[in-house]
Structure 1
């Protein structure tokens, strides 16, 4: 079975959608500063965004590992358990960072702004999901899962700026 990372790299339309509006680029996996998990678990940067943020796999294993996102301003949060969950988040709610209350209303406000510039956004998303073999859950379910992962499961995934020994701030308020 082909990995999802390989599938994204092989399919230009998928990669373009994930790059924008998803702000997810597999060629930007270097975080730019030394960090580690407080637990001592392995941390592997594998993608990034245009603002200097990084997506990390946590622990040993493959694409099923938890995914932590760290921005360039010292904030971090666990955002998915495994790459399939991350890709569903990026496909359904690519503006997830704007959903601080994890609400559908927040998401729909952001979606409206994106749809002004990209009226074919939903069709592009659906084609990308089909190409990756992903079934997309409803927006509310995706946001509820993000809340659960970031605020509950994610409590055990503390990113630390290694030179200063200081933990990153949570991206979401509890």
Structure 2
């Protein structure tokens, strides 16, 4: 069975949706700074966004590893337990970074802005999910899961700026 990363590379529509509005590109896995996890666990950059943020797999293993997101401004958060969960987040709520409180109101406002610019967003999302073989949860569920992951297990995944020995600030707080 091909990996999800391979599936994204093989399905142009899915890759395009993840690139925009998902702001997730597999060819941007190099982070702007030298970083490591406080725990000493392995850290592997595998994708990034247009603003210099990076998605990292944490620990050893495959695509089931925890995924940490670090922005270019010194913030980081554990955002998913595995690539399938991350892709569901990016497909269902590509505006997740615009919802710091994870309220339905915040999400609805952000969704409305995206839909105004991309009226075919839902159809494109559904096509991308089908191409990747993913069943999508609802928006409320995916944002609640993000908050649960970031504020629960996320505390065990502290990103350190190696040159200064300082930790990144949490992007998502309780």
TM-score (norm 2): 0.99
Structure 1, unmatched stretches of 5+, are none
Q: In structure 2, what is the equivalent of residue 144 of structure 1? A: 144
In the TM superposition, 1:116-155 aligns within 5 A as 116-155=116-155
Shift of 1:145: 0.4
What RMSD, in angstroms, separates the aligned Cα atoms of the two structures?
0.6
Structure 2, unmatched stretches of 5+, are none
Moved over 3 A (4+): none
Shift of 1:121: 0.3
Shift of 1:80: 0.1
CA contact (8 A) 1:52 1:71 kept: yes
Shift of 1:104: 2.0
Tell me the alpha carbon deviations over residues 58-99 of structure 1, each in whole angstroms, 9 at most, x when there is no partner.
000000000000000000000000000000000000010111
CA contact (8 A) 2:68 2:78 kept: yes
CA contact (8 A) 1:25 1:47 kept: yes
Q: In structure 1, what is the equivalent of residue 14 of structure 2? A: 14
Q: In structure 2, what is the equivalent of residue 60 of structure 1? A: 60
Q: In structure 1, what is the equivalent of residue 28 of structure 2? A: 28
CA contact (8 A) 2:41 2:58 kept: yes
TM-score (norm 1): 0.99
2:59 corresponds to 1:87: no
Name the SS of the counterpart of 1:39 in structure 2. coil
CA contact (8 A) 1:58 1:68 kept: yes
Q: In structure 1, what is the equivalent of residue 102 of structure 2? A: 102
Q: In structure 2, what is the equivalent of residue 48 of structure 1? A: 48
Separation of aligned partners in 2, 1:7 and 1:55: 18
Shift of 1:172: 1.5
Separation of aligned partners in 2, 1:62 and 1:11: 20
Separation of aligned partners in 1, 2:141 and 2:87: 14
Shift of 1:106: 1.0
